Each structure stands twice: as C-alpha cells, then as structure tokens.
A = this chain, B = another copy of it.
Amino acid sequence: MNYGIALFPSKELQDHANSYRMRYDSHYALIPPHITLKETFEISEEELPLYISTLKEIANNAQPVHINIYKVDTFYPQSNTIFFKIREHASLMYLYDALHQDPFSRNEKYGFIPHLTIGQDLSNQEHSDVAGQLKMKTIEHQETINRMQLLYQLENGSWTVYETFHLGKDA
C-alpha cells in the first residue's frame, strides 16, 4: 500500500490555499492542503507496525513545527508546481531528517524545500501567468502545527488519514 506523511495546517491557511488550489491544482480533490514531510512510499501490511512505532518515537522526540510562509514561489524549470514557500526551521528539518532515515527510505535526489503546493500540472503558459502574478503578492503567515498524519492512498489517487501523531513529549 502507498503511504505518505504530511502536516495539515490550520483551517485558515487551508482555506487560503484552497482559494488558489481550486483553480490551479490538479490534486485539489485528492487531499486537503498540506505540507509533505515524506513523499509516497510503499510498505506491506506486515511492515506497518514497525513504521507506526517509529513514527510515535519520532513524534515524541519532535517539537511542534513552526511554519513561516513568506512568499509564493515555483519549482520551474524542474516542474510547474507553484507553492507557498516556508522558511526553513529546525523543528521542520528535524522531522524531515527523521523521516528519511532507517527504516524509512532516504532521499538522495533532492534537498528539502518546505512548501505548501497551491498549483500543479499547469500548462507552461498558464504556469508562467499564474506564477508571475502570485509572486508579486505580499504573503506573510505564521503558525504552529502540533501533529502530523500518516495517510494511505486509494486507487483513485485520493488520500485517507490512517493515524495522527502528536509532536512533542507532552502529547
């Protein structure tokens, strides 16, 4: 089964992101607005308990995550994905690092660029128009997220939450 790990921000930020996603994001209907901590990975039902217990330990040792969104950016030319860019923060980097160590797969290919996607799969022309327009907007939002979610993917590509993990010892 395909799993993924993500942070869901406040309703306020999700509503804001959705105001763009409804027009620009091909995944709008597949999952609510989120910050991906670990991309899709496949594990068997037998392996699941080990991953769950590791996630509990990681969450216990983590701090609630500080999210500071400061601009709209794009992964162009790597991809036409447009996103709210999130400032690097130790609380976020800790989680990303922990989720890319044994037993989790590593990610040698890319560095971690914390972001919340608001547009993807746009044509080059539309991407260029939308990114150009949104990059000029002033955007500034801060919040703290105190839980992360393990999700699994259905056959139609949508995601269901399997479990919530509270970040921090007193969780």
A69 to chain B, nearest CB (A): 18
* Contact residues in B for A162 (Cβ distance below 8 Å): 164
Q: Is the CB of B1 within 8 A of A154?
A: no
B-contacting residues of A (Cβ < 8 Å)? 1, 8, 11, 14-15, 18, 22, 28-29, 32, 147, 149, 152, 154-156, 158-164
B163 engages A18 (CB within 8 Å):
no
The distance in angstroms between the C-alpha atoms of A8 and B149, with both chains bound, is 15
What is the minimal beta-carbon distance from A37 to any residue of chain B, in angstroms?
A: 15
Distance from A26 Cβ to chain B, minimum over Cβ atoms (Å): 12
Contact A155/B15 with A29-B29, A160-B32, A161-B161 known, Cβ cut-off 8 Å: yes
Kindly list chain B residues whose C-beta atoms are within 8 Å of the C-beta of A14: 154, 160
User: What is the CA–CA distance of A152 and B147 in the complex, to the nearest angstrom?
Assistant: 15
Complexed CA–CA distance, A156 and B11 (Å)? 11
A156–B8 touching, CB < 8 Å: no
B160 touches A147 (CB 8 A): no
Chain B: minimal CB distance from A151 (Å) = 9
The answer for the CA separation of A1 and B12 in the assembled complex, in Å, is 11
A156 close to B22 (CB less than 8 A):
yes
Query: Could you show 21 A-B contacts with beta carbons less than 8 Å apart?
Result: A1-B11, A8-B161, A11-B155, A11-B160, A14-B154, A14-B160, A15-B154, A18-B154, A18-B155, A18-B158, A22-B156, A29-B29, A29-B158, A32-B154, A32-B158, A32-B159, A147-B163, A149-B161, A161-B161, A162-B164, A164-B164
